[in-house]
Structure 1
Amino acid sequence: MMFASARRRIGRRPLLVTVAGGVVAALAAWPLHVAAAADGDLLRSGGYELVLNSGATGQPVVVRDAATGAAVLVEQQPLQLIIKSGTNPVDVNGRYTSVGLEGDQLVGTGDVRTPGGSVFRFRDSYRVAQGGGFSASRTVTVVTASAADQGFNSRFTIGAANPRPLQDYQFLAPGLWYDRNRNVPAGALASNMNDNYMYFREMRMPLPFVMMHDPAGGLDVSLAHQNPRAASPVDEGSGAWLVNGAITHAALGAQRVPSTKLAIVYPGMEGEKNYVNRAAAWVRRSNPVTVGYTQSYEFRIRAARTADFGAAVRDAWRYHWAMQNPQIAKVPVDRVYRSSVDVLASYTSTWGGAPGLPFSVNLPDGTVKEVSYQMGFVGQQIPAAYLMLRDGYLNNRPDNVTKGRQILDFWANNSSAPSGLPRTWYDVNPPGWRGFYPTYLRIATDGMEGILKACRLMRSRGTPVAPWENYARRFGDWLVTHQNADGSYYRSYNLAGTGPDNQAKYNTHNAVPFLLELSAYTGDARYRTAALRAGEFAWQNVHLPAAYVGGTPDNNNVTDKEASALALRAFLSLYDHTRDARWLQAAQRAGDFAETWAYAWNYPVASSRAAYTKYGVRGQSLIATGHSAMDTWHSSSLYDYYRLYRATNDPHYLAYARLLANEAKLTTQYPGNPLGYARDGLLEEAIGLADLRYGGVSLWLPWNSVAHAESLALLRDTYGNMDIDVLAGSPIPGPTTPEPTATTPAPAGRTITNRHSNLCLDDFNGISTPGAEVRQWTCNGLAFQSWDITPVSDGYYQIRNRHSGLCLDNKDWGTASGAPVQQWTCNGQTVQQWGLTPIGDAYSTLTNRHSGLCLDNYNWGTAAGAEVRQWSCNDLATQHWRVA
């Protein structure tokens, strides 16, 4: 509420935040109020008020509900110091002695004296933040210095007005702490909820903020380092307590004492767990206690309410994404694609009598280090072979066709165990299957999705390869036979495929895309049934608890990035094949979590590698909890996020897809981006940069290039272009391009006119949501009747409406005459692929690839609104369409 003694009211206009030309979020108009009140001075931002009080009584910092006046967040001691006194940390706290309004800022000041006699002067200037919340600019100046005090850190904490034990809350520290961190390795940051302090260096976080969600009432509080400038001249790999005035990184986290609170500490210290010296509880950094030395940094406080932890993660991440407004540099993705496929082809050879790619290559000189063949995951032998096969046919490169076919033949003819489970890792010296390594479901499905793509490619060319198809079916049959009663699959199985090796079930969803695609390819409903059962298990055990665990076979069964990204892929596949909206809901939740692993800010890195001196952490994403290693694997999710954008029309997913399309490619060498590597296409497999210095494996692995090329190829095959900026800007209306309306002439596109009725194929009723009807209507030249026709392969096309942005679709995967059609989110499935066969006089038939039926003027209609369905092809005028 406003008070009678209000000084002024300042209104803000709605704010529009963009990333690389695309809208990230249209932030609400946040009215800014500055007022003086009987109980202190305040700012108002949205539905919350910030009140400061001075003196020995009352709460110095209060965030309260503007409607009710009830306190939501409080802090008793806003002025906090941690003093280095010899080898001991000493906490000293204080309150504001003066508060007041200065223009549109609310300022609190006060001095804090240490036991040793040093005096520090605080000045905190609060203001209403863009998009809601409150920003604070803090300075801490050394007024008097005592020899007893060698270093200092300042700290700000805030927590709920009625705090409960830390274990009652759910937390997000991106890349580090999810919910209550139940699935993290021993020694991981925030792995013990009984620790008094959980502070993390901000460089370990893809965005520097921490959020706390109260599941009882839905209250969220977040604390962020605003405008971070992480830097340090000292050895950040040292476990010693170092003091230097040029250390400018912060720590963020939470603490249990004196009550549950969030904290920012400047400069950063890490504990009670740390990744610098794991044998010790703390690694500390401080600034010097020198008269005149001043700290200067900013933080942001935000309160919000959300329905559950998943919603809180989404809301907090997007808010801080918009606050950071990540830079995105345009990358020539065609060069990245070309370099990625070419480097795969360049390393393909024969070792130990078997064709394949080396397991690893040295950087920067490009020499082969180790040779062994892993079908998926980091080896990616089969997906790489498919990419070479596809590229060879598409771009007339016969050598790539040969290399791809040889690798695919080797796996199809040799990999299956008698049970049907593929063996996934082959050693060339001595030749044979790696006996001590189990078959991980993740690795098997990676590889077998590749073989199925190759099968589909060869069938579309009229030359199906029976051994490849049989190989895929054997695995499909094994999955049907070995599915658990609850619909799940185990994390890994023994090499023979006769029993489990690791009985964790978090990876069940990895089997879903392969099973659904195999069912569509073969027509065998058993595979679809198994996929749906696995999907139901994943809904209950992965989606609902947001338990994205065990995505990477080379880490423990822990919370990691790839688990959430693969869940996104699986739930999208279920949505594509069933049209059930709850699968899209699950895909969004998984995508929201997967985003939080990718860096959306940057800091300088000391490195001998040009890639990191030039780009810092741009484009990198953390791999898993338990360490701060990072890589560019998230590049492989580009296609999934662009599909998610198309399915939801949510512009944030497009903004995130742009980050993956561009930033994730920066540390790859390609023409125009020299990085000192021996060949274009090379990049480093995994690195550590969180200590502001380079540490890496100095290796390229095949997955690095597959992650780039596979998503780009899928974009090209589904949408006709691998550049999402082109796709989002034209022809489909993007978030910055208004859609045509019924009174707007259609942009250049194609009309599809029936020979019998002389009516045009039409987005009936102008609907733009999946499931929209397609009928015939009087030709009128409007956007509803404008269609983009994009080649897919071998005479098949995707047909996409300009108004809705949706694709002409065989509804419910029908195969009988009379099967309906609809518009649906474009997904590259065969139900959205149509063969155009010219029949003369500028007319063609449109044949659905899945059903083999022709698009038909149902019941020979001639009136506007006449139905369109599929029917057995019969060469009658009702199936003749003029595309012009």
Structure 2
Amino acid sequence: MIRRRKGLLAAALALATASVLAPVSGTGAQAASGSLRSGNHELVLTTGPTTQSVVVRDVASGASVLAEQQPMQVIVKNGETPTDANGQYASVVLEGTRLVGAGDVRSRNGSVFRFRDSYEAAPGGGFSVTRTVAVVTANAADQGFNSRFTIGAAAPRPLQDYQFLAPGVMYDRNRTVPAGALGSNLNDNYLYFREMRMPLPFVMMHDPGSGLDVSLAHQNPRAASPVDEGSGAWLVNGGITHAALGAQRVPSSKLAIVYPGMEGEKNYVNRGAAWVRRSNPVTVGHTQSYQFRIRAHKTADFGAAVRDSWRYHWDMSNPEITKVPVQQVYRSSVDVLASYQGNWGGAPGLPFSVWMDGNVREVSYQMGFVGQQIPAAYLMLRDGLLNNRPDHATKGRQILDFWAANSSAPSGLPRTWYDVNPPGWRSFYPTYLRIATDGLEGVLKAARFMRGRGTPVASWESYARRFGDWLVANQNADGSYYRSYNLAGTAPDNQAKYNTHNAIPFLMELTAYTGDTRYRTAALRAAEFAWQTVHLPSAYVGGTPDNPNVTDKEAASLALRAFLSAYDHTRDQRWLQAAQRAADFAETWQFAWNYSVASSRPAYAKYGVRGQSVIATGHSAMDTWQSGMLFDFYRLYRATNDNHYLQQARLLANNTKLTTQYPGNPLGYGRDGLVEEAIGLADLRYGGVDLWLPWNSVAHAESLAMLQDTYGNMDIDVLSGNPVPDPTVKRIRNQHSNLCLDDYNAVTTPGAEVRQWTCNGLPVQDWTLTPVGDGYYEVRNGHSDLCLDNKDFATAPGAVVHQWTCNNLPVQHWRLTTTSGVTTLVNRHSGLCLDNYNWGTAPGAEVRQWTCNGLTAQDWSIA
């Protein structure tokens, strides 16, 4: 009981620190004011004729940071003309821990709208406002109304000086968006966006000069509408409960929430008009009720502002995660891929698209991107050989053999799209770097998998090397690559360089596979270019080949993957920093709230927008592509121990699978494993393409397979149930020789020898042990930064141990088993023990692998 009382007292003290009320001052005709503290800021409300009715101050300095003169605003519908009416609070009172401002606003025609705004301190800082607006007098000339709240910096700057985040809609100043996109013209007076387009309903405005961030969010949103939200008409209905959020430049730069939502001066409903408006009726007794949240904060730059504001509003939303059986999703995803493999036009492959009733729509073969022929083939191959499904393995191998034999142009650049009727390479479609790297990463995975089983496939290895050699030979002087090239690989087709980072993972893995450092050098040059042009300006552009070079989800996600690859292969903290920044932007495209959707399809009637993510700026189409980033976010969590990335990974692991049909989740589709390729739900109704494409299933299965292969389980809820130990630096001493495992001759290049030497405390004898799951560890040398490796994937006693570029393959995984203070190290690939070869006792004694025998030559102390 005493401990509980102490906990309650601590909680009370914490609340008192976060939320402090000052009494309302002023009597009679004087202006009244009251204040409320939340974190480092104080909110002050003032009545009467005053310069600012709402002010947010910095507690430490007393300086005003946010201000609003007219907190009560209505927009009235008079025919097709909007008319504004505004007001200041007539009263400010304390009600418990809340500060309440209230008053009436009268329209030009005499309609009266009664406002009551109840402010309170919000968790984590900021101020939560519960607003009601009631119609107390109505004039028939006023046909509808919206209420609005705006707030901006106390010393506002021109709108063009700020950087913005409206998730899925507006990034920075929206310089790289299509014509007509929301937020594309900062000379517009208003930039209002329907909240249903945003993965979290908030807007943030960052001042790069002062570092001040202002954010405004719709709290506890209940987006709904009984009217046709696809109509461009100005519709009025009391059941419309969605909001719009955005910014405006009149009378000064501010953020705004408008209820119900109206969209303009650009909109995605009727692009030929400036506005699409919705209003509630001006009927006596009609009352609006909604909540919003105001926050002021300071960050170092726009990237930090994006990270901070997204996480703050993520915590406010507390997204619901529904557990799904990921093993069943994996099985259904691989099985549906295998079920569609066939032979068309004399070549094996998967159809380009399938109707949701299960019937094939179109057949052509695209190696990566939405076609995903090669990654799908690898998944079938892997599944067939690991799970005794020989038919899957055969189907995967047939596809891989076809591409390896036919895809490369004489230059070495792969051709990426094959038509089956008539058969031949699609001549008018260039080779996009994104598509080529998607495909060849799949080839490299398949080659590595087969070599790991002792049956390397030379043609696949050669195919991957040809592309790697082409990348080395065709890298620009600044380290970049072009967006696309002609089919011959002899000239650029599109000279944009935003996609340079797509080459990094393939080149890094190719070095790990071959030992050829030319590929690593090219990868690092590409990473340096991407650091300057992608990371530093936070410019994530052009991720999808079927879109122009616009800000989009896949550009940020693929930048995360690329920088994380650079980090994993170098341990340079710069690349981890860049990976985190890319991840912070990538997750802002993923829905972390939900709303109901009118749909005859069970997938959306049941789950709404859960699991969906916006594809790109310029529209509000959605898909489940982020499912394929599950492994990357979990890997980032393991690298940073940042629990937020784990929570994002959990959302991707589960919610992105909700609209996939699998046993136990019937959705009316033709086969288990089907999931719809792209949809529109932002109008609160379903609109979709009615198609499955191979990428849908690859996105699910590939990340799950990578989790299984890397960490020993595809369910991150199982993996994260075990604490992640920090890597530890140890010395590894043999019990027979009393010598230490040593980077012999202090070599730092792949292939460096490992021997035993007199223990001396130098970095050549420092080994970092990093858990990789299932009781296995990566063993990395502190001097060379190379990993203890089973050379050439050997499996026979006497197999050589050396050091190699860390690549997370089974040949570099060692199971540590400790008994009575001594440890054996068993290689995951060979099943052999690390052994003091020939029982040496002199410095320089060899280390190899041998059949585990329990003798002291295989006993090591690790301390």
8 Å contact 1:74–1:159 — kept in the other structure?
Answer: yes
Shift of 1:813: 2.4
What corresponds to 1:238 in structure 2? 231
Output the amino acid matched with 1:273. Answer: K
1:339 corresponds to 2:332: yes
What corresponds to 1:728 in structure 2? 720
What corresponds to 2:383 in structure 1? 391
Question: Within 1, Cα distance between the matches of 2:65 and 2:314?
Answer: 24
1:298-317 to 2 correspondences below 5 Å: 298-317=291-310
Shift of 1:788: 7.1
8 Å contact 2:379–2:396 — kept in the other structure?
Answer: yes
What corresponds to 2:750 in structure 1? none
What corresponds to 1:426 in structure 2? 418
SS in 2 for 1:13: helix
What corresponds to 2:21 in structure 1? 34
Output the amino acid matched with 2:374. Answer: I
1:756 to 736, 743, 752: 736
What corresponds to 1:672 in structure 2? 664
8 Å contact 1:47–1:67 — kept in the other structure?
Answer: yes
> Structure 1 residues 759, 267: CA separation in 2 closer, same or farther (over 3 Å shift)?
farther
- Unaligned ranges ≥5, structure 2: 1-7, 26-31, 742-755, 760-766, 792-799
What corresponds to 1:360 in structure 2? 353
Question: Within 2, Cα distance between the matches of 1:120 and 1:232?
Answer: 22
Output the amino acid matched with 2:68. Answer: E
1:375 corresponds to 2:351: no
What corresponds to 1:471 in structure 2? 463
1:809 to 763, 780, 795: 780
1:133 to 126, 134, 147: 126
Question: Within 2, Cα distance between the matches of 1:861 and 1:239?
Answer: 85
Question: Within 2, Cα distance between the matches of 1:859 and 1:368?
Answer: 64
| Offset from partner CA, 1:56-91 (integer Å, 9 cap, x none) | 123100000111211000001001010000110001
| Offset from partner CA, 1:687-726 (integer Å, 9 cap, x none) | 0000000000000000000000000000000000000010
1:107 corresponds to 2:87: no
RMSD: 3.4
SS in 1 for 2:695: helix
8 Å contact 1:718–1:827 — kept in the other structure?
Answer: no
1:440 to 432, 454, 458: 432
Structure 1 moving runs of 4+ over 4 Å:
27-30, 751-755, 757-761, 784-791, 814-822, 842-850, 852-862, 867-879
What corresponds to 1:519 in structure 2? 511
8 Å contact 2:814–2:825 — kept in the other structure?
Answer: no
> Structure 1 residues 385, 12: CA separation in 2 closer, same or farther (over 3 Å shift)?
same
> Structure 1 residues 874, 150: CA separation in 2 closer, same or farther (over 3 Å shift)?
closer
1:52 to 39, 45, 49: 45
8 Å contact 2:776–2:815 — kept in the other structure?
Answer: no
1:325 corresponds to 2:302: no
Question: Within 1, Cα distance between the matches of 2:343 and 2:721?
Answer: 44
8 Å contact 2:801–2:849 — kept in the other structure?
Answer: no
Shift of 1:846: 4.3
Output the amino acid matched with 2:123. Answer: Q
Shift of 1:661: 0.2
Question: Within 2, Cα distance between the matches of 1:388 and 1:874?
Answer: 34
8 Å contact 2:597–2:684 — kept in the other structure?
Answer: yes
> Structure 1 residues 789, 698: CA separation in 2 closer, same or farther (over 3 Å shift)?
closer
Output the amino acid matched with 2:284. Answer: V
1:164 corresponds to 2:144: no
8 Å contact 1:97–1:110 — kept in the other structure?
Answer: yes
1:196 to 189, 197, 200: 189
1:712 to 682, 704, 709: 704
What corresponds to 2:281 in structure 1? 288
8 Å contact 1:80–1:92 — kept in the other structure?
Answer: yes
Output the amino acid matched with 1:13. Answer: A
1:632-643 to 2 correspondences below 5 Å: 632-643=624-635
Output the amino acid matched with 2:786. Answer: W
What corresponds to 2:91 in structure 1? 98
> Structure 1 residues 664, 815: CA separation in 2 closer, same or farther (over 3 Å shift)?
closer
> Structure 1 residues 789, 621: CA separation in 2 closer, same or farther (over 3 Å shift)?
closer
What corresponds to 1:748 in structure 2? none
Question: Within 2, Cα distance between the matches of 1:855 and 1:692?
Answer: 65
Output the amino acid matched with 1:103. Answer: G
1:784-863 to 2 correspondences below 5 Å: 799-800=776-777, 807-809=778-780, 812-813=785-786, 828-829=808-809, 832-834=812-814, 846=826
1:413 corresponds to 2:396: no
Percent sequence identity over matched residues? 74
Shift of 1:732: 3.7
> Structure 1 residues 269, 858: CA separation in 2 closer, same or farther (over 3 Å shift)?
farther
8 Å contact 1:389–1:402 — kept in the other structure?
Answer: yes
8 Å contact 2:499–2:542 — kept in the other structure?
Answer: yes
> Structure 1 residues 43, 332: CA separation in 2 closer, same or farther (over 3 Å shift)?
same
Q: Which one is further off, 27-36 or 407-416?
A: 27-36
1:143 to 127, 136, 148: 136
What corresponds to 1:771 in structure 2? none
| Offset from partner CA, 1:134-159 (integer Å, 9 cap, x none) | 00000000010001100000000000
> Structure 1 residues 759, 698: CA separation in 2 closer, same or farther (over 3 Å shift)?
farther
| Offset from partner CA, 1:654-695 (integer Å, 9 cap, x none) | 000000000000000011100001111000000000000000
Question: Within 1, Cα distance between the matches of 2:434 and 2:520?
Answer: 19
Shift of 1:462: 1.2
- Unaligned ranges ≥5, structure 1: 1-9, 16-26, 734-738, 742-750, 762-773, 777-783, 792-797, 801-806
8 Å contact 2:551–2:617 — kept in the other structure?
Answer: yes
1:13 corresponds to 2:11: yes
Shift of 1:756: 2.2
Question: Within 2, Cα distance between the matches of 1:223 and 1:208?
Answer: 9
Shift of 1:31: 1.7
Question: Within 2, Cα distance between the matches of 1:679 and 1:685?
Answer: 15
What corresponds to 1:253 in structure 2? 246
Question: Within 2, Cα distance between the matches of 1:30 and 1:879?
Answer: 62
Question: Within 1, Cα distance between the matches of 2:581 and 2:837?
Answer: 40
> Structure 1 residues 575, 14: CA separation in 2 closer, same or farther (over 3 Å shift)?
farther
8 Å contact 1:392–1:399 — kept in the other structure?
Answer: yes
8 Å contact 2:638–2:724 — kept in the other structure?
Answer: no
Shift of 1:760: 12
Shift of 1:808: 2.9
Output the amino acid matched with 1:808. Answer: V
| Offset from partner CA, 1:760-801 (integer Å, 9 cap, x none) | 99xxxxxxxxxxxx999xxxxxxx99997867xxxxxx724x
Question: Within 1, Cα distance between the matches of 2:100 and 2:846?
Answer: 70
8 Å contact 1:375–1:381 — kept in the other structure?
Answer: yes
| Offset from partner CA, 1:435-476 (integer Å, 9 cap, x none) | 000000000000000000000011111111111111000000
8 Å contact 1:813–1:831 — kept in the other structure?
Answer: no
8 Å contact 2:181–2:619 — kept in the other structure?
Answer: yes
SS in 2 for 1:221: strand
What corresponds to 1:699 in structure 2? 691
Output the amino acid matched with 2:858. Answer: H
8 Å contact 2:355–2:692 — kept in the other structure?
Answer: yes
TM-score by length of 1: 0.86
SS in 1 for 2:589: coil
Shift of 1:13: 2.9
What corresponds to 1:67 in structure 2? 60
Shift of 1:40: 2.0
What corresponds to 2:566 in structure 1? 574
Question: Within 1, Cα distance between the matches of 2:145 and 2:185?
Answer: 27
| Offset from partner CA, 1:14-41 (integer Å, 9 cap, x none) | 99xxxxxxxxxxx999521011265720
Question: Within 1, Cα distance between the matches of 2:159 and 2:840?
Answer: 69
1:757-772 to 2 correspondences below 5 Å: none
1:528 corresponds to 2:520: yes
8 Å contact 1:123–1:139 — kept in the other structure?
Answer: yes
